[in-house]
Structure 1
Amino acid sequence: MMSPWLKFMALVIACLLCIVAVNKWQLSRAERTVSQQGIALSQQKDTLLAQSAAIGTLQSNVRRNEQAQAELRIKLSQAGQLAASRDNTITRLLNENADLRRWYGTALPDDIKRLHRRPAFDGPDAYLRWLSESHELPDTGQQPANQR
């Protein structure tokens, strides 16, 4: 038979082996968790880098759009100033010249009015069809029916 001391030592060794086995199992589980978290962290890092690049691109686009809008506002202001200047010039010329004022007030001939009229088009085909069906202007040797 075994002595009580040997039984005790066998029991202690068995307990130590159980503790080592449990620790080994916990360590492998922790290593697997760390590995999975490392993969998740790497994926999140890649996602953040992609999002950061997208944000940088969007910010660059915003800056360009703001600059383009500012340029368009300046051009619109300049166009408005040119239109006002042209209107002032026309008004001044009309006020200065009675013949010009009389000519400006007369109606355009029917053929010229017809050139300015066109129907609403659904697309380029409708426009081409309208062009091909348009009536021709009278020959320059003929007098138009409605003359100034």
Structure 2
Amino acid sequence: MKNTVFLILTNLLLIGCTQDKNTNVVSQNLEKNNIEGSWKLVYAHIKEQDSIQVKDLNKTEFIKIINESHFAFFDQGKGSDETFTAGGGTYTYDGEDYIETLDFINAPAYRGHVFPFKAEVKGDSLIQQGHEKIEEAGLDRYILEKYIRITKQQ
């Protein structure tokens, strides 16, 4: 009887000390999945050459939607049906490096370009920053954007 109890306790101890190989996979998926959702832009600044511009969000609404494999963004001017920009494509995210490949946009010179960013999700906030450069389009700027997660209550 003592041997049986000893063997059971030893096995439980060994099982408890054994690392689950799926633990790392689960934590990586949680990091990747925390970027998924609908996001509203609440702050943005753009640095071009030696000037910094803070985006006036009183005049526009900017939404980004990220699912398991794709992203889309919509920029609608408030009170105007003429000011609208949208785009989307695929992305990768490893918990720090967020890389967008822009496949769809109304500006042909931007299509197919890859934009590497650093991104971090903190609670209900997504902070994204990086260098956007497309020589053919004359685009060369650094951006810093902060989004808040859109919930059903908003």
Report the TM-score range of the alignment, normalised by the length of the smaller protein.
Answer: under 0.3
Q: Which has the larger radius of gyration?
A: 1
Higher strand share: 2
**Greater per-residue helix proportion:** 1
TM-score, normalising length: structure 1: 0.25
TM-score (norm 2): 0.24
Higher relative contact order (CA 8 A, sep 6+): 2
